[in-house]
Amino acid sequence: MKNFFYLFYKSFLDVAPLVIVILFFQLAVIQEPFINPYKLALGMFLLIFGLFLFMLGLDTGLFPLGESMAFSFAAKGNIWLLLIFAAAIGYSTTIAEPVLIAIAQKAETMTESRITAFALRNTVAIGVALGIVIGVMRILLNHPIHYYFIGGYIAVMTITIFAPREIIGIAYDAGGITTSTVTVPLVTALGIGLASSIGGRNPLIDGFGLIAFASLLPIITVMGYGLIIM
């Protein structure tokens, strides 16, 4: 029951600041009533309610299971199984990521279906899967994270030179879009489980850094997709 209220509070916290800023601008700056206030209010309600249900559902069922699995795989010591599991979790959670679903649809409409929502979401999901696999290997090898990022940033900029201009904005945004509601908690559990099962590591230090890879790799895969289709 405590969980129930906490989740409601969480979804409320997500939405409240936005509503305040929007109302302030509409009333104080634009000084015009909303065109369709009831429809907007209903939509906002559905948004909060939907987010709440979504998080509640994840929290009662899949998250605890997923987290315990992430811990088990990290502790099991079979590197190949761990990497396959990491990739599968990265891919499947990204496909279910609510924001990516909405934005990919927008991108499809805007490009008149030259970019399809289906292909875009799969490309991003493959990027996240790759990113998490690389991130897990980094934790295992105990390499400093920034060496990888120097390489990653150079790769992003190099591909940018060749990529079609229409895809660059979508690709750069893809990194930030992917890592939200579903992906972050499960991936964090994987990282912390991993770091605490390897001897001599501080879970708080080594557990971080997976999300960063999950944000960087989709930029590269989406531009790759753009190169192929355009």
Work out which of 3, 4, 27, 42 binds other proteins, going by CB under 8 A. Answer: 42
Count other Cβ atoms within 10 Å, centred on residue 220: 23
Work out which of 8, 56, 116, 119 binds other proteins, going by CB under 8 A. Answer: 56
* 179 HSE (CA, 13 A, CB side): 22
The yes or no reply on residue 230 touching other proteins (CB under 8 A) is no
The yes or no reply on residue 47 touching other proteins (CB under 8 A) is yes
- Cβ(82)–Cβ(76) below 8 Å: yes
d(CA 190, CA 146): 20
Those residues whose C-beta lies under 8 Å from the C-beta of residue 107, and which sit 6 or more positions away, are: 115, 117, 120, 170
We find the least distance from the C-beta atom of residue 127 to other proteins, in angstroms, to be: 12
The yes or no reply on residue 27 touching other proteins (CB under 8 A) is no
Work out which of 83, 96, 137, 140 binds other proteins, going by CB under 8 A. Answer: 96
| Cα end-to-end distance, the chain, whole Å | 52
The yes or no reply on residue 37 touching other proteins (CB under 8 A) is no
d(CA 65, CA 61): 7
Encoded amino acid at 161, one letter? I
The yes or no reply on residue 208 touching other proteins (CB under 8 A) is yes
The yes or no reply on residue 225 touching other proteins (CB under 8 A) is no
Q: Which of residues 106 and 113 has its CB atom nearest to other proteins in the complex?
A: 106
The yes or no reply on residue 49 touching other proteins (CB under 8 A) is yes
Work out which of 77, 79, 162, 204 binds other proteins, going by CB under 8 A. Answer: 204
108: which 2 tokens? 């499809």
d(CA 37, CA 25): 15
The yes or no reply on residue 79 touching other proteins (CB under 8 A) is no
We find the least distance from the C-beta atom of residue 199 to other proteins, in angstroms, to be: 18
Work out which of 27, 79, 101, 227 binds other proteins, going by CB under 8 A. Answer: 101
Work out which of 3, 4, 27, 40 binds other proteins, going by CB under 8 A. Answer: 40
Site string for other proteins, 161-180 (x = CB under 8 A): ----xx-xxx-xx-xxxxxx
- Cβ(214)–Cβ(178) below 8 Å: yes
The yes or no reply on residue 93 touching other proteins (CB under 8 A) is yes
d(CA 101, CA 35): 27
